[in-house]
Amino acid sequence: MGSTYGKIFTITTFGESHGAGIGAVIDGCPAGLVIDETFIQSEMARRKPGQSKITTQRQEADQVSILSGVFDGKSTGAPIALFIPNEDARSKDYSHLENTFRPSHADFTYEAKYGVRDHRGGGRSSARETAARVAAGAVAKLFLMAQGIDIKAYVSQVGDIQAPPHGQLDLSTTEDNIVRCPDSATATKMITLIDQVRLDRDTIGGAITCVIKGSPPGLGEPVFDKLHAEMGKAMLSINAVKGFEYGSGFSGIRMRGSEHNDAIINKDGVIRTVTNHSGGVQGGISNGEEIYFRVAFKPVATIMQDQASVDKEGNPVTVTGKGRHDPCVVPRAVPIVEAMAALVMADFVLRARTSRIQ
């Protein structure tokens, strides 16, 4: 199972939705990094369930225990083990799924691959696993902040409701509302839509935009480990993600090269680009401009409605969702996107130090 990510700054996550807990082991974190446990916990609070009326009502404190790799508040260079206990699992809500498969979920594919699956909350396929990524990503963020690199994501779309482009927004206000959209008028519309979808016993998709500032030029390892390729892999590894685009993305196909090319200038000895259709990455390597990308999330697969499916023997059955689920995943996915972006960037910052002698 592919539970490890990274080449130098690596993480391995473990655990299932209804097991004793979940966690991550970070290897390759440089020694001497101040590990701010309050910051780590604040990141967990942004992802944890039960935080508002438009999220799942599962109640988890998501309190992180650091089991190793930290002494006197600093990283030692040894593996950092992080553990988060599961405290509010209701396995009985999933007893009807022991021999049946939910449509568009990982139930069938896990059964087909492994021949055995934990049907309680989806086991390893559950988005509960992403709590471990947020914990590890918080450590990566602490490392990046020491390098002057800042990562901020926000909800840019729910259904057909879209926020203005990120250049027109004050991203410091993202946490000012429960949907995590830094435009208050758009946020109100999004919240109303998600709440109505919840009352309809249905789900809806959305998109998250992420902006990385302070990245130095030169990050990325062509040809197969290009920066945007690894960022896409990291984002597509998140539950429910169905699309990734960076820079102008698919809108760039409507442009001519004369419009799409980013003019380069030298201002006060600093090479900059006038526009940023490239999203801060050219040739698979960061160019020093802000990096930005967009991640599309599908509607949550588990809905509280009758759906046609089959059992393990292939017989037709009707499946009705039970348990506690998000009507829209994007409000809680914002810190997950940031965490995965931080893990990618931390790894590439360290890898860049091996690229040349001076």
- pLDDT tens for the chain, 358 residues: list them: 699 999 999 999 999 988 899 999 999 999 999 999 999 999 999 998 878 888 877 778 899 999 999 999 999 999 999 999 998 767 767 777 888 888 898 999 999 999 988 888 788 888 999 999 999 999 999 999 999 999 999 999 999 999 999 999 999 999 999 999 999 999 999 999 999 999 999 999 999 999 999 999 999 999 999 999 999 999 999 999 999 999 999 999 999 999 999 988 888 888 888 899 999 999 999 999 999 999 999 999 888 888 899 989 899 999 877 766 789 999 999 999 999 999 999 999 999 999 988 7
The pLDDT of residue 323 is 67
List phi, psi (to 5°) of 75.
-65, 145
Q: What are the extents of the domains in the chain? A: 4-352
**pTM for the structure as a whole:** 0.95
210: left (phi over 0), alpha (psi -120 to 50) or beta: beta
Give me the helices (H) in the chain, please: 37-47, 107-114, 130-145, 184-199, 227-236, 257-260, 330-352
Among residues 240, 332, 339, the alpha carbon closest in space to that of 5 is found at 339
- pLDDT at residue number 1: 62
Q: Which CATH superfamily is domain 4-352 in?
A: Chorismate synthase AroC (3.60.150.10)
pLDDT at 131: 96
Token pair belonging to 345: 């960037």
How far is the C-alpha of 197 from the C-alpha of 303, rounded, in Å?
Answer: 10
Which residues are CB-contacts of 240 (< 8 A; sequence separation ≥ 6)? 127, 205, 297, 298, 300, 301, 329, 333
Radius of gyration over alpha carbons of the chain, in Å?
Answer: 21
Cα torsion at 285, 277, 273, 279 (round to 10°)?
A: -40
DSSP-derived pairing of the beta strands 161-162 and 65-68: unpaired
Q: What DSSP assignment string belongs to 6-73? A: -SSSEEEEEE-TTSSEEEEEEE-PPTT-B--HHHHHHHHHHH-SSSSTTS---------EEEESEETT
What residue type is assigned to position 217 of the chain?
Answer: P
